[in-house]
Chains A and B, each alone.
Chain A
Amino acid sequence: MNIYVLDQDSALDFYINKLGLKVIIDAPMNKEVRWLTVGTTEQPGFEINLTPVHESILHSKDTAEALRDLIKKGTFGVGIFTCTDIMATYEELKAKGVEFIKPPTKEFYGTEALFKDDSGNWFSLAQLTPVTV
């Protein structure tokens, strides 16, 4: 999974020290960019690639600037983290300084909160209701 971030060092600090993920690969690609992936112990094999947005063969200067603006504005919702006890996770992340844009709220599919990463990407944090057949 790929997530565009504004700054790789800042993103690394957020995903490791606040969200509690761990580094899978941190390898230099060139002078400015690293191949930087993080993941969880609970889901081996799943990696989040923290990709910086800058002018490159993928994005023109204008596109990179537009994309960075959109990220800052909180345009992109990029994923869902599930947990077994949302109130415990919510309280822990808040204590670590994570910004929530929606507190835990009961929905028909479970209990959900929304938080932002250091760039402006937002995620759902969910404690899902078990499906009964």
Chain B
Amino acid sequence: MEQQAYPKLYFYRRIVQAKLFIDQHFAENIELYNIADEAYYSKFHFSRKFKDVYLQTPHQYLISVRLENATKLLASGMSVAAVCQAVGFEELSSFSRLFKRKVGINPSAYLQRHKYIQKQITEAPLTLVPHCFAYQYGWTEKEQFQTNKI
């Protein structure tokens, strides 16, 4: 039934395999031909097929995966220079420019914002719970609302 409805199943598996390859190896110096090899396609044919499925070229997707992982690492408190290197960018300037284009603020500002959020999580986590009645009505001294103050 699955095969009848989707005769292109084999095609999908190869494209998905290439996407998963990017997801796993984004931090390495991978080139389009590495990814195309993963899908058993020629470079240009693969690029076109990938875009048909994911609405962006393999290179655009690679950049978006690197930036997405950069947001996670910055949120964990890693320095901007270390994140740049860890996600596979060679130049800090291009990393900052692409990051700002995607996220709206530069990596340093993003790092500072998350340091502040992390401080809030540690010191007053209930302030992060939207419409937390326990916090608003002063019930937080009860045991089940105790925060983990250090």
Residues of A within 8 A of B (CB): 22, 25-30, 35, 41, 56-57, 84-85, 87-88, 91-92, 95, 103-106
Contact = CB atoms under 8 A, between A and B. Distances in A.
A27 B13 CA distance: 38
B79 interface: no
Contacts of A27: 121, 125-126, 128-129
Given A85-B54, A88-B53, A88-B54, A25 B128 contact: yes
Contact of A88 (B16, B121, B126): B16
B19 A35 contact: no
Contacts of B13: 91
B12 A87 contact: yes
Contacts of A87: 6, 8-9, 12
Output the residue of B8, B16, B53, B129 with the most chain A CB within 10 A. B16
A62 to B, nearest CB: 19
Given A88-B15, A104-B2, A30 B145 contact: yes
Task: Describe A's contact surface by its main secondary structure.
Answer: mixed
Nearest to A28: B148
Given A27-B125, A88-B53, A105-B1, 10 more contacts: A22-B71, A28-B147, A29-B129, A30-B143, A30-B145, A57-B144, A88-B19, A95-B17, A103-B1, A104-B6
Contacts of B1: 103, 105
Interface of B: 1-2, 5-6, 8-9, 12-13, 15-17, 19-20, 53-55, 68, 71-72, 121, 125-126, 128-129, 143-148
A27 to B, nearest CB: 4
A88 B145 contact: no
Output the residue of B20, B126, B144, B145 with the most chain A CB within 10 A. B144
List of 8 A-B pairs having minimum Cβ-Cβ separation, nearest first: A27-B125, A91-B16, A27-B121, A28-B148, A87-B12, A88-B53, A92-B16, A103-B2
A57 B17 CA distance: 47
Nearest to A84: B55
A41 B147 contact: no
B146 A30 contact: yes
A35 B127 CA distance: 11
Contacts of A29: 125-126, 129, 145, 147
Given A27-B129, A28-B125, A35-B129, A88 B5 contact: no
